[in-house]
A = this chain, B = another copy of it.
Amino acid sequence: MSILTAAADVLRCFSSTRHDVTVTDLVTLLGMPKSNASRLLRAMRDEGLLETVGDSKRYRPALLLAQIGQLYRFAASLIDRADAVVGRVSDEIGHTGYISVRRGTEIIGVTAHPGRHALRVVTSIGDRIPAFASSTGRALLARLPDAEVRALYPEGFVAPSETAPRDMDELLARLAETRRNGFAESHDEAVRGVRAISVGLGDPATGDEVALCISFPAATVEPSERLSIIRSLAEGAAEIAALTQDKRFFPLNLSSSETAP
């Protein structure tokens, strides 16, 4: 097993709740011998992948990784464009917006725009949520043929909340609805009292796919505001889809959707 595997494992140890690691952290988290952990951290520091915090024995990701992380947004320029749209919509209406990507059956937040309202939805970048039980997830799954969706869940899934799809048939029905409407919607799924509108989007040139999402408290948003969120999001997404010549984009179709929340 290459030392690259170990190095990647170390990087995966970092999270929003673990900003730095020590030799013993690695021993317990990854079950590697102390000697390896010690040498590996030092080697990664010497290579510029990690840096020590002050002159302590704690290691954190180095600036190099921060720089490359920044680059990712532009490398995957679809993310950048989508982020601009979500940022604009979020600014306009004051609710939280974010964009996410799918990795297998999980959805990962990539960028976020916190809303301005006192009651706002807080999401954090890097969070993972199940694809089938979120509007972002379904916006992205809707881009796959049903057969591929089935293949993603060979063992089915368990609905985490009342309003999430209960089984594959229900999921596929909601994906069909998403395709028809041009947007996906969730209500009380991941978080009680929260409603979210998502639109999926892709760039055939790079194979990237992202979901644009606006998330807001269900109680305080009028039907008309919800409609205007849907319109803004869909409009912005459609512009990008035209640019990338995304053939799998589903345009907004409000007449087909129930318009009351």
- Specify the chain B residue showing the minimal Cβ separation from A5: B47
Q: A259 contacts the other chain (Cβ, under 8 Å)?
A: no
In this assembly, does A75 line the interface, its C-beta being within 8 Å of a C-beta of chain B? yes
* Complex contacts, A162 vs chain B, CB 8 Å: none
A125 touching B72 in the complex, CB below 8 Å, given contacts A63-B108, A64-B8, A64-B11: no
Q: Is the CB of A76 within 8 A of B48?
A: no
Q: Which of A100-139 contact B (CB under 8 A)?
A: 101, 103, 108, 110, 125-126
Q: Are A72 and B68 in contact (CB under 8 A)?
A: no
Interface residues of A: mostly helix, strand, loop or mixed? mixed
Report the separation of the CA atoms of residues A103 and B104 in the bound assembly, to the nearest whole angstrom: 38
Chain B residues with CB under 8 Å of A64's CB are: 8, 11-12
Tell me if A260 counts as interface (CB < 8 A to partner B). no
Contact A66 B73 (CB under 8 A): yes
B contact residues around A208 at 8 Å (CB): 54
Cα distance, A163 to B203, chains bound together (Å): 47
- Let me know if B19 and A75 touch, CB within 8 A: yes
Binding site for B on A (CB under 8 A): 2-5, 7-8, 11-12, 14-16, 19-20, 43-44, 47-49, 53-55, 60-76, 101, 103, 108, 110, 125-126, 204-208
